[in-house]
């Protein structure tokens, strides 16, 4: 029983990163209808920003994570203004989704290769942000950095959620996600909201990448798995459904932890993918999505 409880706890802590990543991915898809396949590269940039802030500028852990969030936020805003804004004005009706899919793939490849050219494949990490480890109920121990990464993820999500629901700008973002035309009639500047939304999405990924720098060192290809896992969460809960992301992230984290313990290394990805396939077959709208997408049995 103690081992089971410890595994569940580790799964919850592991899900913190997926919650942050999926929150950023979900908000940019829900508001801008962009399937952002460069989201993992923003995670990677956050790790690099955190590394240099902590190592070269001698900032503390929280300050380094905040610096990473701001740095990736700015890069996200620049990318939206320079690339997505012109694309939006040139895309014909019905082509936006495919155009943005291809554009984000290209952005991801460019960012990966840029970091390869600058840093090569050298891993850049820190020994620890917070020293020590914690005893669990069984003989297992878990680094304090992992616990703090989860705490930072939850605090960030709570702040972001408060911003969306209790500020004028946040409510404007939600209004645009529900009705672009109606929000324009109330005076919302769509261009500014799009830029802010994309930048916030990138910033959330930056927090995720930097907060676990001592566990996942920075290197150019590091964003691929977090990207896949965040898509797992989005598909699991339902596309465009941001509310239950915390639950979805924890479920994916638990699936990985339990499957790793039962089947061994490498199987956690296979188990997660198998669950997603089953969701797409039997409940394609997701666990918490609105009914509307038919399963293969309802065709």
Ordered DSSP codes for 92-133: PTTTHHHHHHHHHHHHHHHHHHHHHHHHTT--B--S-SS--E
- Quick one: which of 247, 249, 242 has its CA closest to 174? 242
Give the pLDDT mean for 168-190.
Answer: 89
pLDDT band at 2 (very low <50, low <70, confident <90, very high): confident
* CB contact set of 56 (below 8 Å; sequence gap of 6+): none
- Position 278 scores a pLDDT of 86
- Quick one: which of 60, 76, 47 has its CA closest to 220? 47
Look up residue 99 and give its two tokens: 């155009």
Task: Give 224's DSSP letter.
Answer: H
Query: Residues 210, 50: contact at Cβ < 8 Å?
Result: yes
Provide φ and ψ at 113, rounded to 5°: -70, -30
Buried b (16+ CB within 10 A) or exposed e, 23-58: bbbbbbbbbbebbbbbbbbbbbbbbbbbbbbbeeee
Look up residue 127 and give its two tokens: 């020994």
- Determine the Cα–Cα distance for residues 70 and 76; give it in Å rounded to an integer: 10
- Quick one: which of 68, 35, 40 has its CA closest to 54? 68
pLDDT band at 7 (very low <50, low <70, confident <90, very high): confident
Distance of CA 18 to the CA centre of its chain: 6
Provide φ and ψ at 243, rounded to 5°: -50, -55
Query: What are the counts of helices (DSSP H) followed by strands (DSSP E) for the chain?
Result: 12, 2
Only one residue has tokens 């899919």, namely: 101
Does the pLDDT of residue 4 top 80, yes or no? no
- For 27-80, write each residue's pLDDT tens digit: 999 899 999 999 999 999 999 999 999 999 999 999 999 999 999 999 999 999
Give strand pairing partners of 142.
Answer: 134
Residues in the chain: 299
Which of these ranges, 124-138, 238-252, 281-295, has the smallest mean pLDDT? 281-295
pLDDT band at 296 (very low <50, low <70, confident <90, very high): very low
Is pTM beyond 0.75? Reply is yes
* CB contact set of 107 (below 8 Å; sequence gap of 6+): 38, 41, 79, 83
Mean pLDDT of all residues belonging to the chain: 88
Task: Give 216's DSSP letter.
Answer: S
Q: Which helix (H) or strand (E) holds 269?
A: helix 267-282
- Quick one: which of 50, 17, 61, 294 has its CA closest to 153? 17
Q: What domains are there in the chain, each with its CATH number?
A: 2-298 (1.10.3470)
């Amino acid at each position: 029983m103690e081992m089971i409880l410890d595994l569940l706890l580790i799964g919850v802590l592991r899900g913190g990163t997926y919650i942050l990543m999926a929150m950023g991915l979900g908000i940019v898809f829900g508001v801008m209808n962009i399937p952002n396949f460069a989201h993992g590269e923003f995670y990677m940039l956050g790790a690099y920003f955190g590394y240099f802030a902590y190592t070269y500028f001698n900032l503390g852990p929280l300050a380094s994570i905040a610096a990473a969030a701001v740095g990736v936020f700015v890069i996200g805003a620049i990318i939206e203004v320079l690339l997505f804004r012109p694309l939006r004005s040139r895309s014909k009706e019905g082509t936006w989704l495919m155009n943005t899919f291809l554009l984000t793939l290209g952005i991801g490849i460019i960012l990966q290769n840029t970091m390869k050219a600058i840093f090569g494949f050298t891993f850049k990490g820190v020994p620890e942000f917070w020293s020590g480890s914690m005893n669990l109920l069984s003989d297992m121990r878990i680094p304090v950095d992992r616990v703090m990464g989860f705490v930072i993820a939850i605090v960030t999500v709570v702040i972001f959620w408060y911003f969306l629901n209790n500020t004028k700008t946040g409510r404007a973002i939600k209004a645009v996600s529900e009705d672009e035309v109606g929000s324009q009639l109330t005076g919302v500047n769509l261009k500014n909201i799009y830029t802010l939304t994309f930048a916030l999405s990138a910033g959330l990924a930056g927090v995720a990448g930097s907060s676990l720098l001592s566990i996942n060192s920075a290197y150019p290809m590091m964003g691929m798995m977090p990207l896949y896992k965040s898509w797992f969460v989005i598909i699991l809960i339902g596309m465009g459904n941001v509310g239950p992301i915390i639950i979805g992230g924890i479920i994916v984290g638990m699936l990985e932890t339990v499957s790793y313990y039962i089947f061994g290394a490498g199987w956690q990805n296979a188990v997660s993918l198998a669950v997603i396939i089953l969701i797409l077959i039997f409940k394609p709208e997701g666990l918490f999505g609105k009914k509307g997408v038919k399963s293969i049995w309802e065709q």
